[in-house]
Amino acid sequence: MAVAFDDQAASCAEGQATLDLAVRLLARLYPVLAILPLGSAASSQAQALERLAKSINPKVGIRRSGKSATICVVAGVTRPPLRCPTFFMGSDGWAAKLSRTDPVGSGSSLLPYGAGAASCFGAANVFRTIFAAQLTGAELDETIDLSLYSYDKTRAGEAGPIDIPVDLGETHLVGLGAIGHGSLWALARQPGLTGRLHVIDHEAIELSNLQRYALAGQAEIGMSKAVLAATALRSTALGVEAHPLTWAEYVARHGDWVFDRVGVALDTAADRLAVQGALPRWIANAWTQEHDLGISRHGFDDGQACLCCMYLPSGKSKDEHQLIAEELGIPEAHEQVKTLLQTNAGVPNDFVVRVATAMAVPFEPLAPFVGQPLRSFYQQAICGGLVFQLSDGSRRVRTVVPMAFQSALAGIMLAAELVKHSAGFPVGPTTSTRVNLLRPLGSHLHDPKAKDSSGRCICSDDDFIAAYRRKYGKSVVQLSDVSAA
């Protein structure tokens, strides 16, 4: 896997951002990277990129030649002398660019959004090339020119301002996992940010997180996610407050329950419903799922879909403890699983033995998990792929884990929405915008979501509406008014 770049990319902020994120994404999956500088300025950055790759995976192989490369991504305006499939990445402010045939170059702005998205598109096409036999319909993108300002694929609309001081006011970012890391990566590179950002997550970084968390390396294992977030933003002018708490714990301590702007990067529908239940003034919600990723935008008293409208349960579904018990191969032990989850108690020895027996894998590699919280055991043994390895791939699980480039793009889109909303730019023309990185970029990215018509949602409840108006006043800005402006 080769990463080639020239002096043009190495000498500008957009090119540097593209390279930084590209290495962060590729080093998490591919065992050998060739870092190929094409010029003197580029050569001075090569070692820094190599160190970055090693900080993520100390065992990654580093090459200084691309002769044996089987695939390559390129930043800059120079075509490398390689004969393998090549993807040219670049950007122009808010716009992400990709081409299979010609260099596209990097813009002169300091914005990270187009540059970061280009890295995600490049990594996605690399993935689809290498794993084409395992992916159905995994065609490649020929060209991409997409503005994260308007999500206008053809860029027929306004390109968006590029030199903007932005006051985030009082903004909250809830969930500092893989999507949250994409947001933090972008916010750390956005010039002129001021205001106060509250970062909220009660967990710590684990080894299994490194497969997807763009900012996490070996040195961050065991660090509080909230502390890592504050550390990532320390070079900005933002006032960052780290809260190693759950959302419920944070809200209980907050007092007035007034939240002007909340970015949501959480894992479950239940967690998202809880955030909307606290009635923030405005919410941007990012997600990844099996077939797409995206961003949605929500007021509450504006006649549009609130966040709950998108996640209202329909029919009976299994509880989390039942699903985890099934993934562990012991569905009959769901009550014990429920207790372990609720108490956060360490899993006992006989529980781990029972899982190993059910999974038909040896106990010894799982023994270090005895005494650890069940969620940690589950994330590393199942989501982290340990059981898959121990069974030589014969023990498959139903857990769908997004790739790093999918989570990073969702996070970059979330950061872009928070900045655009803070700056008073027009919001998107629809509630949500969706992208499928396992397919060529679609022609229709906007996805209108109507307000729930069943009357079950809290945005149709008079008491919730009255509470919202008491907090923020009756002159709530309508989504349609902002779009028209």
DSSP string covering 307-346: HHHHH---S----HHHHHHHHTT-GGGHHHHHHHHHHTPB
Q: For residue range 39-58, list pLDDT tens digits in order.
A: 999 999 999 999 999 999 99
Q: How confident is residue 23, by pLDDT bands cut at 50, 70 and 90?
A: very high
pLDDT at 479 over 70: no
For residue 146, give the nearest of 160, 162, 136 by alpha carbon: 160
Q: What CATH number is given to the structural domain containing 261?
A: 3.40.50.720
Instruction: Indicate whether 156 pLDDT > 80.
Output: no
What residue type is 164 in one-letter code? Answer: I
Under 8 Å between Cβ of 311 and 273: yes
Residues 44 and 125 in one domain: yes
Say yes or no: 309 and 415 in one domain.
Answer: yes
Numbers of helices and strands, H then E, in the chain:
17, 15
CB atoms within 10 A of CB 21: 30
Sign of the torsion formed by the C-alpha atoms of 143, 130, 10 and 186: positive
DSSP state, residue 423: T
Domain closes at, from 101, 120, 147? 147
In a domain, 465, yes or no: yes
Domain assignment of residue 79, yes or no = yes
* Stretch 361-386: mean pLDDT: 84
Q: Which tops the pLDDT comparison, 294 or 447? A: 294
- Do 194 and 119 lie in a common domain? no
Distance, CA of 202 to CA of 267 (rounded, Å) = 13
Burial class (CB in 10 A: 0-12, 13-18, 19+), 4: buried
Number of domains in the chain: 2
DSSP three-state, residue 193: strand
Residue that wins the pLDDT comparison between 368 and 426: 368
Chain mean pLDDT for the chain: 90
Confidence band of 135 (pLDDT split at 50, 70, 90): confident
388 occurs within a structural domain: no
Question: What's the whole-number mean pLDDT along residues 366-372?
Answer: 91
If you count them, how many residues does the chain have?
Answer: 485
Give tens-digit pLDDT for 157-180: 456 777 778 999 999 999 999 999
Answer yes or no: are the C-beta atoms of 348 and 370 closer than 8 Å.
yes
Q: Are residues 178 and 257 in the same domain?
A: yes
Please determine, for residue 246, whether its predicted confidence score (pLDDT) is greater than 70.
yes
Above 80 in pLDDT, residue 271? yes
pLDDT band at 154 (very low <50, low <70, confident <90, very high): low
* Residue 338 Cα distances to 320, 332, 374, angstroms: 8, 12, 10
Within 263-422, where are the H helices?
Answer: 269-277, 307-311, 320-327, 334-343, 349-359, 374-378, 386-390, 404-422
Confidence check: pLDDT of 468 > 60: yes
143 with 201, same domain?
no
Phi, psi torsion values for 77, nearest 5 degrees: -120, 10
Q: How confident is the model at residue 152 (pLDDT cuts 50, 70, 90)?
A: confident
Do 130 and 70 have their domain in common?
yes
Are residues 267 and 188 part of one domain? yes
- 386-436 pLDDT tens trace: 777 777 766 655 556 789 999 999 999 999 999 999 999 877 666 899 999
**Contacts of residue 122, Cβ cutoff 8 Å, sequence gap at least 6:** 22, 73, 87, 89, 98
Q: Please, is 122 exposed, middle or buried when counting C-beta atoms within 10 Å of its C-beta (0-12, 13-18, 19+)?
A: buried
Same domain? 172 vs 205: yes
- 3-class DSSP state for residue 33? strand
Q: What share of the chain has pLDDT > 70, as a percent? A: 93
Mean pLDDT of the 337-358 span: 92
Q: Is 355 a member of any domain?
A: no
Residue written as tokens 């039942």? Answer: 322
Q: Are residues 131 and 54 in the same domain?
A: yes
Q: Are residues 177 and 288 in the same domain?
A: yes
* Domain-located, residue 458: yes
> Chain centroid to CA 468: how far?
29
| Last residue of one domain, picked from the residues 118, 147, 176 | 147
Task: Please give the average per-residue pLDDT across 191-203, as a whole number.
Answer: 95
Classify residue 360: in a domain, yes or no.
no
Residues 240 and 179 in one domain: yes
Q: What residue ranges in 249-307 does DSSP mark as E strands?
A: 261-264, 282-288, 293-298
Query: CA 127, CA 29: separation in Å to the nearest integer?
Result: 9
Domain membership of residue 420 as a residue range? 166-313+404-472
| Predicted pLDDT at 377 | 86
Q: Write down the pLDDT at residue 51.
A: 97
- Token reading at 463: 């008491």
The separation between the first and the last C-alpha atoms of the chain, rounded to the nearest angstrom, is: 46
Name the nearest CA neighbour of 205 among 219, 222, 217, 218: 222
- Structure letter (DSSP) for residue 28: T
Reported as a pLDDT band with limits 50, 70 and 90, residue 317 is confident
User: Which conformational region is residue 240 in: left (phi greater than 0), alpha (psi within -120 to 50 degrees), or beta?
Assistant: beta
* pLDDT value of residue 480: 38
The answer on 79 and 125 residing in a single domain is yes
Cα angle, residue 268 at apex, residues 148 and 277 outer, rounded to 5°: 90
Residue 318: inside a domain, yes or no?
no
- Establish if 274 belongs to a structural domain: yes
Nearest to 120 by CA among 73, 50, 158: 73
Rounded Cα–Cα distance for residues 78 and 454 (Å): 56
Among residues 188, 192, 190, which one has the least CA distance to residue 229?
188
Q: For residue 134, give the DSSP letter.
A: G
Identify the pLDDT of residue 485.
38
The 32-38 sheet, strands edge to edge: 61-63, 32-38, 2-6, 72-75, 86-92, 95-99, 143-147
Flag the least confident range among 226-230, 266-270, 301-305, 374-378.
374-378
Whether residue 476 is predicted with pLDDT greater than 60 in this model: the reply is no
| Joined tokens for residue 230 | 């504050």
Say what the pLDDT of residue 291 is.
84
State which of 113, 147, 181 marks the end of a domain: 147
What is the 3-class SS of 73-111, one letter each residue? Answer: EEECCCCCCCCCCEEEEEEECCEEEEECCCCCCECCCCC
- pLDDT(212) > 70: yes
